[in-house]
Amino acid sequence: MSIPLVRQLGLCDYADTYSRMRDFTAARGAEAADELWFLEHPPVFTQGQAGRAEHVLAPGAIPVVQSNRGGQVTYHGPGQAVVYVLLDLQRRGYGARELVRRLERTMIGTLAGYGIAARSRPDAPGVYVEHCWEGGATELRKIGSLGLRVSRGCSYHGLALNVNMDLEPFDRINPCGLAGMRMTQVAALGGPARIAEVMHDLETNLLDNL
């Protein structure tokens, strides 16, 4: 199996990137190389295909963009590592559910390298960590999100890992449709604050997991 082409795209408008992903997937042939796009987005809320309006609480001046990925509403902004996985799943021999597991393992493995224990949930795709309060109480917080679209056996969209960003906009939504879910990020848990470092480690783990 050939290694995917990795593109480091920097800060990219969400709507433009979404259009480019759809066009790439619609035009690709059987021999087209898989690609991984590493990037950040300016502030934007994105709504999944079956997303419900009531989960968008108070967007303010931040735009809400409808997309065709799975899942509910989420937030993207500078300081969040976004990776879009444009893969021919038929050629790779696994489907969307297995890709979800591999993307979760990628984030969990990356976080483990920073000494951050994280896990997935069978009822809510993504990656979560336990926040410990004084007195021993714990709270599950979300650190990594994912959403996919598969068309003609090929995937696009992907994962988003919170690294060192303004988390306040997540308070304006029910993240991924989970009312009351609080978010956290790598830098707050003792991991690196430099997004370039986390992007590099995500790339290494993702290539190992695909």
Catalytic annotation, residues: 176
How far apart are alpha carbons 202 and 141 in whole angstroms? 20
CA pair distance 82, 67, nearest whole angstrom = 15
6 DSSP β-pair partners: 36
Q: Please answer whether residues 87 and 25 qualify as being in contact, where contact means their C-beta atoms are separated by less than 8 angstroms.
A: no
Nearest to 158 by CA among 7, 27, 30: 7
Taking only Cα atoms into account, the Rg of the chain, rounded to an integer number of angstroms, comes to 16
> Contact at 8 Å (CB) between 36 and 8?
no
Query: Residue length, the chain?
Result: 210
Taking the C-alpha atoms of residue 108 and residue 73, their distance in angstroms, rounded to an integer, is: 22
